[in-house]
Amino acid sequence: MEESIYSVITGTGSYIPKRRVPNSTFLAHTFLDRDGQVLPKSNKEIVEKFLAITTIAERRYAEDDMRASDLAFYAAEKAISHAAIDPETLDYVIVAHNFGDVGPIHKRVDLVPTLAARVKQKLAIKNPYAIAYDLPFGCPGWVQAVIQADYYIKSGDAQRILVIGSETLSRISDPHDRDSMLYADGAGAVVLEARHQSQPVGVLAHRTRSDTLRYANMLYMDESYNRDNTDRTLFLKMHGRKLYQYALEHVPSAIKSCLDKSGHSLEEVKKILIHQANGKMDEAILKRLFGLYDILDIPSDIMPMTVSYLGNSSVATVPTLLDLIIQGQLEPHHISSGDIVVFASVGAGMNINAVVYRVP
């Protein structure tokens, strides 16, 4: 049988900040509505309802002396070490993020030079043909970067690519907005390499959709709900209920479309690594996905979750989840050679994407 080129993951790495922020931290906050009025419920009620809706009990924040590019660098170092490669042999360094290097006090976006350029510099890569660039694509950014890397590899343009997702959402969240409890910081990375063989392996198929006409503004930037805040800082805002409904309506069909494209069925899937945005929302998405196949009995271990203790770190959630499983740090979850794994994400744009991957 004739050989083809496939994109396989040969190394993974992640950086999980050490700073733990439990839900109790928010009991001292003053939560306001969009009109700047204090919410009628007590903070205890707000926090308890938040936990019930999202399953998030704590999250991680980056240390004050670290930026998103630092988190990305540490995750990249681990992925490169795990892959046992010389970083000088990388053809691309792609960093998915949304807000650049935001500091802990002055919430200014810092994007020049790109985070990828900063990571390449921190890695001390001399090779000028290791092309470094950023990919802002909402929370699905890391999955989309994997898709772009797959195109490069299968076209013959690249042999080895470093793909990183890094974000510090805690620094662009309004402390007076209860949605700020969702957000966290972190980074995850993989090394993708070309493999020539006759049997399909690695990235088997991918699917992306962008619903901008109706849904572009479901996540947006705006000033604090605190009308006394006069520095005009912009924070991440969302229409939470509409976003929830959008995800339930479109993510399951996008995953099914990707599986159909790959020629595999849901019954063959060992793990679904979905963006860790909201535990209850992900559970609802999974239920609807299985409903598309008329399957009532959902395997209890098919969707590993970290959101309850790591929160939503945007582009970092899926690669971090993958790394924890690969490194044996998310018991009882394991993936073995030949297993079919699905990566999926949804976020600002609105964008949805999915990748069907066979473990080599």
pLDDT band for position 228 (50/70/90)? confident
Q: Which amino acid is located at 157 in the chain?
A: D
CA 213 to chain centre: 23
Q: What is the pLDDT of residue 303?
A: 98
What's the CA gap between 120 and 188, in Å, rounded? 15
Tokens of 244: 């929830």
pLDDT at 105 over 90: no
Q: Is 160 helix (H, G, I), strand (E, B) or coil?
A: strand
> 4-197 and 202-358 share one CATH topology?
yes
Is residue 85 packed enough to be buried (19+ CB in 10 Å), middle (13-18) or exposed (0-12)? middle
Cis peptide bond upstream of 128, omega within 30: no
Q: In this structure, is the dihedral angle defined by the CA atoms of residues 287, 276, 8 and 333, taken in order, positive or negative? A: negative
pLDDT in tens, 284-334: 999 999 999 999 999 999 999 999 999 999 999 999 999 999 999 999 999
The secondary structure of 109-146 as a DSSP string is: -B-SS-HHHHHHHHTT---TTSEEEEE--STTHHHHHH
Contact 143, 354 (CB under 8 A): yes
Bridge partners, residue 93, by sequence: 132, 162
DSSP string, 220-238: EEEE-S-TT--S--EEEEE
Q: Predicted confidence band at 107 (pLDDT cuts at 50, 70, 90)?
A: confident
Distance CA 42, CA 306 (A): 28
For the chain, the residue count is 360
* CATH superfamily entry for domain 202-358: Thiolase/Chalcone synthase (3.40.47.10)
Count of other CB atoms within 10 angstroms of residue 230: 9
Residues contacting 181, CB < 8 A, separation 6+: 23, 26, 47, 50, 54, 56, 59
Asked if the peptide bond before residue 303 counts as cis, ω within 30 degrees of 0, the response is no
**CATH number of the structural domain 4-197:** 3.40.47.10
Q: pLDDT (tens digit, 9 = 90+) per residue, 9-28?
A: 999 999 999 999 999 999 99
H or E element in which residue 9 lies: strand 4-15
The model's confidence at residue 227, banded by pLDDT at 50, 70 and 90, is confident
What's the pLDDT score for residue 342?
98
In the chain, what are the domain boundaries? 4-197, 202-358
pTM of the model: 0.95
